[in-house]
Structure 1
């Protein structure tokens, strides 16, 4: 980098810092100084801070967006008073629920903070267990979408149609792999920074733990003494869960190893954000130009992770399982979801239209976009007719496909792997969205614990895990 270019960029970064400071109120300025102090102390002093690298997980939500802006302000503030400042790594987990709108919001924030061309900043995206440079225009991985679709289908069937498990578990279970890869890639980092509250993080860990237990995964007592160890344990839970779900069809993946990497420090800043109203902060709303994504996923609350899709699933559930109208199921969900949507500042009008014909079409399109599933396959998932030797198969046919009742004995033969008509095999695969080997595997499986029971147990477990660590980055 030439001296002239270096001076020009230094001026640009000074301008960015001035603009950031212009959006801070007194509480935010105090929080910024405390954050700088924590980073400098963790690095071992101002003389060492130039060799220090921190990681923040950025999912495009308001908390991680705000925390990123604070980190950037801290990085540029130190640069203005010391020869060098810390390095910043920002990593995003790209999952099936990550919309183009959410990625555009993330990229817009990066541009506002001038992160793209700063050599002190790394912008990464982890997708389908692969680390790549962040690029919001890169199409989603076709292989990754197919794997995610299959995972969600299997989870949905094995939890007897539990909507929350189907929508959330696959993304939650990916976190151990995500954090290991993001923290160890190209020499690793020294510390993880997060603005999430200990309560939110402990609920996540408790959910993951109960998910693994529901699949019969052995759970060690106590928590690992380091973040590296905790990430490895989360990955073990995930691998054990999928090993049980898929049985002989399970394919092991290359697991990132934390061996040989330094122990990660944790720099929590949730307490610094406690007195700041993020939704009213001009730093977030004006400078970062943050906008909630009404069609995206919000994993902080499994019951309302995607209100539009959840409303659609509740409508299909009412229609197919409870012999009610689709609209009744949607309206019942809306009554539960509106207070939560107000807290997230999401559009209530979008959800209010969910019970209309146009709203149902939009919901169905969203389900197809995110998961590649049509209404027939979603209804099949909610019924879960194949598990435990097809004990619900007759009821499913009677309710949803009465014309197939005559073929019930032959369908059992199909699922048992006995010689059968190719037409019936194709019908089962088209109706479920799953290949025949996995349908036959489901036929031999008992249901796993669903999210309904897990959520109650996880809340109780979370009270004992509050100090385990702080992480989710959503």
Structure 2
């Protein structure tokens, strides 16, 4: 970079900083100064800050968008006071429920912060356990989409059609692998910055621990001694869960490095965001051009992680399993989740459409586009007819495919792996969306969630004292 070009870019960066500071409230400016202090202290002083690498996980939500803007302001503030400033790594977990709208919001925010061409900034995306440079126009990985579809179906069947487990487990379980890769990639980082509250983090770890215990995985007592150990433990729980779900069909992926050559520091800033009203922050709405996508997956609340698809599943559940109208199931969910859905700025027209024929078609199209599942396969998932030696198979056929009742004994033979008609094998595979080996594996498995909605192995108390990890 020539001296003239470097001077010109420094001038641009200072203009970005001034615009950023102009959108901070008094509390925001105080938070900025405190964040600068925390980073300098963590780096070991202003003389060392130029060699310091910081990671922020960015899922596209309002909280992580504000945290990123605050970090960028801190980076540029230090650059105006010292010869060098810290390096910033921004990493995003790309999952099946991430929409083009969410990717566009990420890219637009990066552009407003002038991150794309700054050599002090690294923009990454982890997709299907692979670290790549961020590119909002890159199509979703075909292999990743297929893996997600298969996992979603297996989790749905083994959780007895539990809607939350079906939609959330695969995405949340991927976080251990995500953090291992994001923190160790290309020489690693020195610190992780997060704006998540200790309560939110503790709830997530308690959920992860409960999920692991439900799959029969041994969970060590005591808290991890470091972030590195915590992320490795999360990844081990995830791998153990998938090993239980898929059995002999589990294929281990290339593991990220679990050892780091350095201690990974944690810089929490939840206390600095307490006075910030994210819903009305001009930093997000005006400067970052932040636009929440109501159709996408949201990390902030597992019960409402994907409102459109969750409402659709509740509607199908009411229609097929509870002898109610589809609309009644959707309306029940909307009433329960309306407050949260409005926080996501879900359009009123979309809320009004939910439960109608048009809303059902939209949700079905969404499920097909992002998860590759049609309504027949979703209904099959909700019934979970194959698990535990097909104990629900007759009821499923009677309710959804009465013309196949005559073939019930032969279908059991199909699922037992005995010689059977190829036509029946194809029918079961098409109806479920799963290949025959996995269907036969389901037939031999007990559900991970019992009739009371709890894991077969009851979880203990929440994991206390750990660190923030969400990528909302």
TM-score category by the smaller chain? over 0.9
In the TM superposition, 1:14-25 aligns within 5 A as 14-25=14-25
Q: How far does residue 341 in structure 1 lie from its aligned partner after superposition?
A: 1.4
Separation (CA, whole Å) in 1 of partners of 2:379 and 2:393: 13
**Rounded Cα–Cα distance in structure 2 between residues aligned with 1:467 and 1:269:** 16
Matched, 1:471 2:469: yes
Give 1:213 shift: 0.6
Instruction: Look up the match of 1:182.
Output: 182
Structure 1 residue 459, shift from structure 2 partner: 10
User: Matched residue of 1:266: which SS?
Assistant: strand
- Give the direction of change, closer, same or farther, for the CA distance of 1:97–1:452 in structure 2 (3 Å limit): farther
For residues 323 and 75 of structure 2, the distance between their equivalents in structure 1, rounded to whole angstroms, comes to: 58
Which residue in the other structure is 1:164 paired with?
Answer: 164
- Relative to the length of structure 1, the TM-score reads 0.97
Equivalent residue of 1:420, what SS? coil
Give the 4+ runs in structure 1 shifted more than 6 A: 457-460
Q: Give the corresponding residue for 1:138.
A: 138
SS class of match (1:461):
coil
Task: State whether residues 228 and 264 of structure 1, in contact with CA within 8 Å, keep that contact through their aligned partners in structure 2.
Answer: yes
Measure, in 2, the Cα distance between the counterparts of 1:340 and 1:62: 14
Is 1:367 the counterpart of 2:367? The answer is: yes
Inter-partner Cα distance in structure 1 for 2:406 and 2:459: 46
Per the TM alignment, residue 460 of structure 1 is displaced from its structure 2 partner at its CA by 7.9
1:214 equivalent to 2:243? Answer no
Contact 1:203 1:459 in 2 (8 A): no
CA distance in 2, matches of 1:175, 1:424: 39
Give the corresponding residue for 1:73: 73
CA contact (8 A) 2:209 2:459 kept: no
Deviation string 1:370-393 (CA, Å, 9 cap, x unpaired) is 110000000000000000000000
Match of 1:47? 47
In 1, Cα distance between the equivalents of 2:451 and 2:277? Answer: 31
Q: Which residue is 1:382 aligned to?
A: 382
Query: What is residue 88 of structure 2 aligned with on the other side?
Result: 88
CA drift of 1:343 comes to 3.0
Q: Match for residue 203 of structure 2? A: 203
Tell whether the 8 Å contact from 2:213 to 2:459 is kept in structure 1 after alignment.
no
Shift of the alpha carbon at 1:226? Answer: 0.2
Query: Per-residue CA shift, 1:445-472, capped at 9, x if unaligned?
Result: 00002798459x999833xx34211111
Contact 2:191 2:267 in 1 (8 A): yes
Q: CA deviation at 1:249?
A: 0.5
Contact 1:211 1:454 in 2 (8 A): no
Residue pair 2:299, 2:470 contacting (<8 A) in 1 also? no
Residue in structure 1 matched with residue 247 of structure 2 by the alignment: 247
How far 1:348 sits from its partner (Å)?
3.6
1:254, distance to aligned residue in structure 2 (A): 1.3
Aligned to 1:279: 279
Q: CA deviation at 1:420?
A: 0.3
Query: Does the alignment pair 1:59 with 2:62?
Result: no
Alignment of 1:290-369 (within 5 A): 290-369=290-369
**Does 2:88 match 1:115?**
no
- With over 3 angstroms needed to count, the CA separation of the structure-2 counterparts of 1:135 and 1:153, relative to structure 1, is same
**Structure 2 CA distance for aligned equivalents of residues 261 and 177 of structure 1:** 18
Distance 2:464 2:107 in 1: 32
Deviates further, 244-253 or 431-440: 244-253
CA distance in 2, matches of 1:458, 1:413: 34
Secondary structure of residue in 2 paired with 1:55: strand
Which SS does the other structure have where 2:461 is aligned? helix
Residue segments in structure 1 that go unaligned for 5+ positions in a row: none
How far residue 233 of structure 1 moved from its aligned partner, in angstroms, is: 0.2
Q: Which runs of 5+ in 2 are unaligned?
A: none
Listed as ranges, the matches of 1:364-443 within 5 Å are 364-443=364-443
Following the alignment from structure 2 to structure 1, what is the Cα–Cα distance between the partners of residues 451 and 164? Answer: 6
Instruction: Give per-residue Cα distances to partners, 1:77-102, cap 9 Å, x unaligned.
Output: 00001000000000000000110000
Q: Which segment is superposed worse, 116-125 or 200-209?
A: 200-209
Q: Compared with structure 1, are the counterparts of its residues 55 and 393 closer, same or farther at alpha carbon in structure 2 (3 Å cutoff)?
A: same
- For these two proteins, the number of residue pairs brought into alignment is 471
Q: Aligned pair in 2 of structure 1 residues 107, 458: CA closer, same or farther (>3 Å)?
A: farther
Contact 1:198 1:466 in 2 (8 A): no
